[in-house]
Amino acid sequence: MPGMGDAGLFEKSDIQKDENIIRLNVLTLMKMNRLFIPYLRENGGGTIVNIASTLAFAPTAGEAVYAASKAFVLSFSQALYEETKKSNVSVLTICPGVTDTDFFKSAGFELGQFKAATPESFAAFAYRSVVKKRALSIHRISNKLTALYCRLAPRKIVRKVFAAVCKTE
């Protein structure tokens, strides 16, 4: 099953779809981490990998709910990494960018100008990140540069750039 996203202006979005995105990316992720962290601690340890997104770094008009939910995944998972780092449990965050999956079709996106990564390249990257126990891993150099830009550029500029790229109107 593909991930869950939506394209378009928030005011015209399907509120049920928005709630489902939040339920999946925020509530379900939170509950699963809450269940698995104590379980893993008591049963020899392990690694939890939470999948955020490059959009987690940017307020993204046209994908407001999805990007905000992935910002939660990023912040929450990084906090859990710190909480668990001295234990036998690791909580890691991996951020893909545009990857050629059915996600975009189900969310109503056109890949257009984006050069998508293959699912296989992302899977290999994710595996290497888990083996190295990287707290935060961002797939592909273009996504790393995007995340860096989003952290360093003024928020006003980041908002405008992402709104233009995502063509909200």
Residue 18, pLDDT > 70, answer yes
Q: Could you give the percent of the chain with pLDDT greater than 90?
A: 76
> What is the band of 107 on the pLDDT scale with cuts at 50, 70, 90?
low
Band of residue 140 on the pLDDT scale cut at 50, 70, 90: very high
Under a CB-based contact definition with an 8 Å cutoff, are residues 98 and 139 in contact?
A: no
66 among known catalytic residues: yes
Looking at residues 55-65, what average pLDDT do you find? 93
* Residue in 66, 81, 127, 149 annotated catalytic: 66
Rounded to an integer, the average pLDDT of 2-11 is: 76
Stretch among 18-22, 96-100, 111-115, 139-143 having the lowest mean pLDDT: 111-115
Helix, strand, coil share (%) of the chain residues, nearest 5: 60, 10, 30
Tell me the C-alpha distance between 25 and 10, whole Å.
Answer: 17
Concatenate the DSSP letters of all residues of 50-81 into one string.
EE--GGGGS--TTSHHHHHHHHHHHHHHHHHH
What is the Cα–Cα distance from 66 to 64, expressed in whole angstroms?
6
pLDDT of residue 103: 57
Task: Supply the Cα-derived Rg of the chain in whole angstroms.
Answer: 16
Quick: pLDDT tens for 25-52: 999 999 999 999 999 999 999 999 999 9
Q: For the chain, what is the mean pLDDT?
A: 89
Mean pLDDT of 62-85: 97
Where is pLDDT greater, at 156 or 105? 156
Please report which confidence band the pLDDT of residue 1 belongs to, taking 50, 70 and 90 as the band edges: very low
Domains plus CATH for the chain? 10-166 (3.40.50.720)
